[in-house]
Each structure stands twice: as C-alpha cells, then as structure tokens.
Amino acid sequence: MSAVSKLDVGRPVRTGANLTPMIDMTFLLVVFFVLVSRITAVEQVPMELPVPRDPAAGAADEAPRIVVNLVHDELADRRRATLEQRDFDLDVAGIASLESEVRRRLLETPELQVNLRADRRLPYQTVSPVLEALGRSGRGTGRPDGVRVNLVVIDESLAAREEDA
C-alpha cells in the first residue's frame, strides 16, 4: 500500500496493515473446524438413518454420550458395530466385548447416555442383540432404571429447514 504524503510532496509514504491478529484468528478458526470435523467424523459414520413420518423424537440433551454406529453392509458377515474408532463384530464375542466396553464407560461417567445410530436397512435381528447388550451393560453400574439409550433418526422437515438456513 502506498500513498503520496501531503506533508512531503513527492515522497511516497509507506503504509502497512498489521495482519498478525487476522492470521491468528484464521489459524484459530482452522484449528476449530479441523478438530470439530474430526470428532464429528468419528461419531457420525455415514449411513441411512430411519426417517419416520411425523417423528415424535426430540433433540438430544446435553448429557455426555457415546455413539454406537451400526452400518449396513450387503454381506452379513461384515456387519460391525463401531464405538468411536473401534470395531466390534456382531458375533457372540464381539457383542460381549462391546457390552464390557460400554459398561467400563458407564462406570467412568455415571450420567453417560448411549446414542444408537443404526442403518434403517439393517434387519431387526442385527440390531436386537446390540440393544440387549446395551441393556446388560448397565449391570453392576448402580442404575436402577437401566441404561439410557437414544435412538437416532432423521426428521426430514427439520433437515430441510436446517439446509435452507
């Protein structure tokens, strides 16, 4: 940036913008979005969630939670549950392992809730053992009402409004 000084005609005045704060903020924004998108990618595995008509579901509350994902795969023997970045086979050993992992986390965080994201194309016989394992995972954690599980669905009207916004 340059200008001509009115005080000393003929000599250009060197002006400069201090860009340091802007660069600081830009870096902060970049770090924020990188971190959030990584957390989101771990929790929200792409899948086709159930889309009930006129859903009576509500927004999740702010309680601490873990997310169990059940992704659809055409091959039944490749179906797995994921908890954060760990895979659990949907056989007897894998479900027992998932149960003990959820129990460990319930003991660490008493108010923990479990969000279950399951692909709508999965047969119920695939989801049912996971629901039962989540129920058993509360055993020994001192929860008289059992484990709080949140079934995640898509509200199409809400999704359309959010995308418009």
Partner 1 sequence: MSHRRRPSTATGRLEKAKVELNLTPMIDVVFQLLIYFLLGTSFAVGEQTFRLDVPDRGESFDIDPFELDVTPVVVQVAGGGRIRVDGPWEGPIHVDALTAFLETRRVDRGGLLPLDTPVHIDPRPDVDWGEAVEAFNAAVRAGFDSVGFIDTSSGSGP
Question: Minimum distance from CB of 23 to partner 1 (Å)?
Answer: 11
The interface with partner 1 within residues 50-109 (CB under 8 A) comprises 50-60
Give the containing element (helix H, strand E) for 40.
helix 20-43
Q: Does 163 interact with partner 1 (rule: CB under 8 A)?
A: yes
Residue 41: other Cβ atoms inside 10 A: 11
Q: Does 25 interact with partner 1 (rule: CB under 8 A)?
A: yes
Q: Are 2 and 15 in contact (CB under 8 A)?
A: yes
Of residues 10, 11, 62, 111, which one binds partner 1 by CB under 8 A? Answer: 11
Residue with tokens 């509200």: 155
Of residues 29, 45, 76, 96, which one binds partner 1 by CB under 8 A? Answer: 29
Q: Does 42 interact with partner 1 (rule: CB under 8 A)?
A: no
Question: Minimum distance from CB of 9 to partner 1 (Å)?
Answer: 12
Distance CA 75, CA 78 (A): 6
DSSP 76: G
